[in-house]
Amino acid sequence: MKVVFSDRAYAAVLAETTEKIKTETGGLFLGAVERDTWYIVETIDPGPKSIFEVAYFEYDQQYTQHLINKVANLYDEKLNLIGLWHRHPGSFDVFSGTDDGTNTKYAKMRPEGAISALVNIDPKFRLTVYHVGQSCRYKKIQYDVGNDLIPVQYLKLKTPQRYEDMMQEMLRPHRNELQPSVSLNSFMKTLKPLFEDRLYIKKIEKPSHTDEEIREKVVDAVLSDIMFMSDEIGIKMAVIQQNSYVAFVQDTVDGVMKVFFAYSEADNKFFFQYEGENYIYEEGLLEELYHMAEEKSGIGNQPLYTSFQGQFEHESRKIINGVFRLIKSDRNGD
């Protein structure tokens, strides 16, 4: 197993470390995994609202979520979030208990795990790269730097013509004006039989901590499901952080679809609200239920979301036919 940095990605780590030379800092890795090689093409900076201290660092999560999508979509072959890095003080080049929790969350986003790297300046710049398995087992691995070591398809940017074609496709009524590619509501309806036993009928107590503290806790919990639903299923949705909750929001022809996520200190549990009911939530739950639904459907390797797509196309046709009927009636003076 090995890691290869593009010239740009490695330079970004050096630049961020130089800029925050007196404190901890970090960033996120975008790239691709091919066999046993991890190609890091871009390094995302941690964001202006990050916390930079001598022995502590925290990402600006709202900023990084936004920038990941922006940068990944510049490439012809969309990049994925495959890891992270941060600086440690002195020569401390192993992970803390807090780091273990963060690394575990990132490793669970992909079957292959994740890459996590540490920067030390003792006294020169030193980068130590680890592979993190889903069970949070670490393996130190070697890395190389150079665009010539990365397959050309991962470095290729979208062409101007590609963007023009995408614009035209998005302007077509059946793609943009009628329905997103994958419906959040249909996704949740498919999973509902599998989470109905998680119904929570008691009142959820409001948190005593500040809204921001609880909201960040909820963001950490739902992050892996956000990445799964966006990257693997193709659900186009906004992620809104407000008060002490997080919401998945999608505009549809029938209105706005929302799924709320919250945390209760009294119960020490996470919850999500769907169709006015509260259900107990756990990190990665929606991805787990999706795979369970796939198995129950008996469709083998065919992705379950292809059935969603067929449903949307059917719904779109009904809408179009309804519009045609209204036009015809109006012309006939009925």
pLDDT by residue (tens digit) across 220-259?
A: 888 888 888 887 888 888 888 878 889 999 887 667 889 9
Per the structure, the count of domains in the chain is: 2
Claim to verify: residue 21 and residue 127 sit in the same structural domain: yes
41 in a structural domain = yes
Claim to verify: residue 151 and residue 188 sit in the same structural domain: no
310 in a structural domain = no
Out of 146-155, 194-203, 285-294, 298-307, pick the least confident. Answer: 298-307
- pLDDT over 70 at 285, yes or no: yes
Claim to verify: residue 137 and residue 87 sit in the same structural domain: yes
Do residues 191 and 290 touch, judged by C-beta distance below 8 A?
Answer: yes
**Cα gap 23→53, rounded to integer Å:** 5
334 in a structural domain = no
Of 155, 184, 201, the one marking the end of a domain is 155
Q: Summarize pLDDT for 121-173 with one digit per residue, the tens.
A: 999 999 999 999 988 899 999 999 999 999 999 999 988 888 887 777 766 65
311 in a structural domain = no
118 in a structural domain = yes
**Mean pLDDT over residues 11-16, rounded?**
96
312 in a structural domain = no
Claim to verify: residue 127 and residue 17 sit in the same structural domain: yes
- Could you tell me which residues come within 8 angstroms of residue 200 by beta carbon, excluding any fewer than 6 positions away? 269, 271, 278, 279, 280
CATH assignment of the domain containing 127: 3.40.140.10
| Structural domain range at position 19 | 2-155
Claim to verify: residue 255 and residue 139 sit in the same structural domain: no
CATH assignment of the domain containing 288: 3.30.920
